[in-house]
Amino acid sequence: MCRSRAPRACISTVDCIFCAIVAGAAEASFVYQDDTVVAFMDLFPVTPGHLLVVPRRHAVGLQDLPEPDGVAVWRVAHRLGRVVRHDGVNLFLADGAAAGQEVFHVHLHVIPRFEGDGFKLTINPGHPARAELDEMAGSIRAALDTDLS
């Protein structure tokens, strides 16, 4: 099964472990299934109860994911997050190798958090000037307007 870190490496559903799970050709411990989305236990959990929410339809990244499928993924993750939450919960989606995506089929991690669990997202935030933020916001708005047209 494909675990390549190369972008678009697992574009074929034949090589995709999540497609195999959805098709019943690979094992998973399911917690939820409907016509659009499945959710199952992560084989390499960060904390107890760590889940993956996966669209049934293969999509390498967000650009390939039909918006209704994306909405369904987040709806299910929201519901599951409320169920598995302990001291907190993280919802995490990595889109692309640079973002840390390892399996190239869109998936959303639902990670229950426990005080002192040791899991950290290390971030080194910048502090851009307001003018730079405004410029970036304008560029994003323009791209969004084009995407929504």
CA distance 17 to 4: 11
At residue 146, the 3 state secondary structure works out as helix
Question: Could you confirm whether 109 is annotated as catalytic?
Answer: no
Name the catalytic one among 50, 107, 109, 127.
107
Residue 93 contacts residue 108 (beta carbons within 8 Å): yes
- β-partners of residue 45 are none
Strands (E), the chain: 30-33, 37-41, 51-55, 88-92, 108-113
At residue 90, the 3 state secondary structure works out as strand
Dihedral sign for Cα atoms in the order 101, 8, 137, 110:
negative
Residue 110 contacts residue 80 (beta carbons within 8 Å): yes
Which residues are the active-site residues? 107
